[in-house]
Every structure is written in C-alpha cells, then in structure tokens.
Amino acid sequence: MTPVTSFKGKTVAVFGLGGSGLASCHALKAGGAEVIASDDTPAKLAEAARAGFITADLRTVSWANFAALVLTPGVPLTHPQPHWTVLAAKQAGVEVIGDIELFCRERKRHAPDAPFVAITGTNGKSTTTALVAHLMREAGYDTQMGGNIGTAILSLEPPAKGRVHVIEMSSYQIDLTPSLDPSVGILLNVTEDHIDRHGSIEHYAAVKERLVAGVQRNGTAIVGVDDHWCAAIADRVAQAGRNVVRVSVKHPVADGICLEGDTIVRVDSGARSRIASINEIGSLRGLHNAQNAACASAAVLALGVSHEMLQQGLRSFPGLAHRMEQIGRQGNVLFVNDSKGTNADAAARALSSFRDIFWIAGGKPKTGGIESLREFFPRIRKAYLIGEAAQEFAATLGDVPHEISKTLEEAVPHAARDAQASGVGEPVVLLSPACASFDQFPNFEKRGDRFREVANALPGGLTPP
C-alpha cells in the first residue's frame, strides 16, 4: 500500500467504493486522514463500514470541512453531465481528484525521482503496460504495475528510489489527475471512443494529450504518430520543450523510432540504428503489437535498460490473456483467444495478423457490425457465427463460407475439424468476436476462458504454442 500523507489531519470524501475507491480509503487512513466513504450502492457502503470506515450519504452532510473529493473514474466528471457529487464539490470549493492524483502527490513529496511510466491510448495500452512492466522486471528492476490494468495504484508499494511504477491510465483517470507528471509518458494512438463521457473527439484527444504534456522536464514523452491527432500532439509537446520520441510503424520518421520489416529502428538525424527484432515473437504478432513493442522499447531504453536485455525481454513476453493470446496448437493448427476484440476495429487487428483464418465471431452486436472488415474477408477460410449477431454477420459475409454455430461449444470443434482438414501451412482458429459478450457471457474474460476450456477439451487436447 502507498500511504497518502498529503491529507494528514484533514477530512476527505471518497465517492465510489469499488477496488480503487476502497484502496483510496485505506491509503488515506494510513496516511492520517479522516475518510468519509460514500457510494450509491448499499452493499458497497456496508462493505466499507465493515472495513472500519465512516460512511455517509454525501447529500446529507456539510461539505465545509472536506479538503477534497476523491472520485472513482467510472463516475462522470464533465459529460454527459457532472455527477451530483462533482457539482456539490464545486459549489463548496472542494477539489475533485482521483487515486492516481493521490499517488502523484506522494511521489512528489517523498521520491520525486522515482521512475514513473504512465501509458494511455485508445487501443493497446494494456498490452503496452504489461510489456513495459515485463521488460523492467526481466532487466532486474523492482517493478510495480497497476492502474487501469487491474490493481489500484494505491494498493501498490509506495514510490521509492529504484522502484519503477508502470501505470495504465484511461482518459477518465487522466481527467482526475491534474498534477500528472510521469518520468516517461506513452500515448499510443487516438481514435474515436468514449465520446459520451467527453462530449467530442477533440476533448477526448485533449485529455489524452495531458499525459505526455505533463512529462517531467528531464523525462521522455513517447507518442505514436500514425494518426493525425497524435501527430499534432507530438508537435505541440515538442514545441513546449519536452523530449519527444515519435514512433511510427506505418511510415519512416526523420527522427524517432520506426519499423523496418520485423526490426525496430531508431532514426537520429537520418542515421539508423537497430533497437530490437520482433521476428517470430508470437505474443507480438500484428502491426498493432509492433507499435506496442516499439513504444515499450523506447520507454525502457529511456530508463536505462540495455539493448541486449530489451531483446531478451521481448522474446520472453507471454502476452495478455484474451488479447491475441496463443492458447495452444493441435498439430499445425494454432488456437488464438482474442476475446477482447469486442468491436470491428479491434477484430481488424487480429484478422490482419493471420492468413488462413477459421474465424469465430459474434455476440451482442455493436453499431456498424462487421461491414468495415470486408478487406479481410479473403483471409477467412470459414466463419463460425455465435450469439445474437450471427444472422446479421452471415448476411454481411455473403459468399464467404460460414455457418451459424450459435455457441462456442459448437463453433470450436467445427472450426478445429475444418482447420485440420484444410491442408494449409498454419491454419488459425481465431476467436475475435467483433461483439460484446453480454448475450451469452458476463464479460469478455468469461467468454475467452470458455473458448480456452472448449479448445483444451478437444480430443487429444492442445500442446503449448
């Protein structure tokens, strides 16, 4: 745990008592603050009370003595309209912050030079966060990983000299972190997302920009420049005097890092030098993972990791569950769990990574369906359609061979049978649904777990990939 000492002797309201909210309560109390815990859910209030915290309905108490409101990132700060707690705080002149802001203040107070890597982007941030943490651990560093990727930041060990914090940040979390100042900041990409929470793509991009704009003066801002939003952000951050490393996996760069074949290359005033190879690293397949690897490489090099240790770390990276996860083989058939591919854009990244695909798709459909995936249809040997979207997807696929499988229990053995009979070099049974899971599963993790279970239960089972 990271005790929060910056509010010692003061009273702090915490609204939203999920994982990060409860962690904030414990960290504030450990640092000497008085905590008033609140939530709209009675069960959450009861859990906080059992943990020894004072609980209250913040509508019924005076805000005069609150030094701050610590807000869970899932609660609207600005759009579609501010949550009632935000309005109450503003009326009382109380600052509204999040748990990562509390961490930043502790770091500034006690260990301002402790390495802090913050990562954001519309896509790829979880993989990049996990990869940076893996590379730092493999290089022998005391590494703490958390934030949006799962573990609340205040549940991690506190910032200290030689200890690296690698933190994934959503736009919601950035919005609640006004003094965000990482030593290394990574912005991977910006595409339209979460507009309901930010009002416009312009505001969403501006929030993302703050992560790299706030990098410490002697730090490094790493920006993927393959979309026009991030290209413009990189220029502005550089003009503001920050050290910017531009990363592209789609075109050459005059200065920065780019991809040449399977090699990550640094370009410095036209001079090229090899950083690392991602050739035949299964956990880093696809152009999107090349970007993740290039940005992660830039980050760890900025923190002093050697090229040799970087290459070793890339090769040993296992990848993340449900994100292009290679779960095993049956003969020459590779089984890939990309259950996190919950929309067409995410599924496109998986489909672009393989040639002979036996594609399991479907679930609760998203707006637009799979129309945008037509360029990848020639890669699909056959599709196996499940869930509510099956009929809609069948109509879009048209002449592409497909069947209505309805469930994973039917789709997986049929796809495995057809892949084994296909006679191609490396057929791939790919679960990348392009849909939400909620028609048949509570979340994408449960869907991916079931895919893994059914695949491993095939006659003969799977061997490691």
Query: pLDDT tens digits for 361-372?
Result: 999 998 889 999
pTM of the model: 0.89
Query: Cβ(408)–Cβ(450) under 8 Å?
Result: yes
What is the domain class of 325-453 according to CATH?
alpha beta
| Phi, psi for residue 256 in degrees, rounded to 5 | 135, -145
**Topology (CATH level 3) of domain 11-97:** Rossmann fold (3.40.50)
Q: Has 127 been labeled as part of a binding site?
A: yes
Alpha-carbon gap, residue 114 to 446, rounded angstroms: 37
Q: For residue 370, give the nearest of 356, 340, 391, 354 by alpha carbon.
A: 391
Q: Does 195 have pLDDT greater than 70?
A: no
Residue 126 marked ligand-binding: yes
434-459 pLDDT, tens digit per residue, is 999 999 999 999 999 999 999 999 99
Task: Tell me: is residue 38 an annotated ligand-binding position.
Answer: no
Q: So what's the pLDDT on residue 197?
A: 64
Instruction: Yes or no: say if 394 and 402 are a contact pair by the CB < 8 Å rule.
Output: yes
CA 248 to each of CA 226, 227, 255, 258, 265: distance values in angstroms, whole numbers, following the listed order: 6, 9, 10, 5, 10
Compute the mean pLDDT over every residue in the chain, rounded to the nearest whole number: 95
Distance of alpha carbon 227 from alpha carbon 204, whole angstroms: 14
Q: How does strand 325-330 pair with strand 402-406?
A: unpaired
Which pLDDT score, from 0 to 100, does residue 198 have?
66
Q: CA 271 to CA 242: how far, in whole Å?
A: 22
Phi, psi of 414 (to 5 degrees): -65, -45
Residue 263 in marked binding region: no
pLDDT value, residue 196: 65
108 is known to lie in a ligand binding site: no
Task: For the chain, give every domain's residue range.
Answer: 11-97, 101-316, 325-453
User: Is 3.40.1190.10 the CATH number for 101-316?
Assistant: yes
Are the CB atoms for 447 and 363 separated by under 8 Å? yes
Nearest residue to 422 via CA among 382, 388, 464, 457: 382
Q: Which residues contact 389 (CB under 8 A, 6 or more apart)?
A: 361, 362, 363, 364, 365, 369, 434, 435
Q: Residue 194: pLDDT band by 50, 70, 90 thresholds?
A: low
pLDDT digits (tens, 9 = 90+) for 232-278: 999 999 999 999 999 999 999 999 999 999 999 999 988 999 999 99
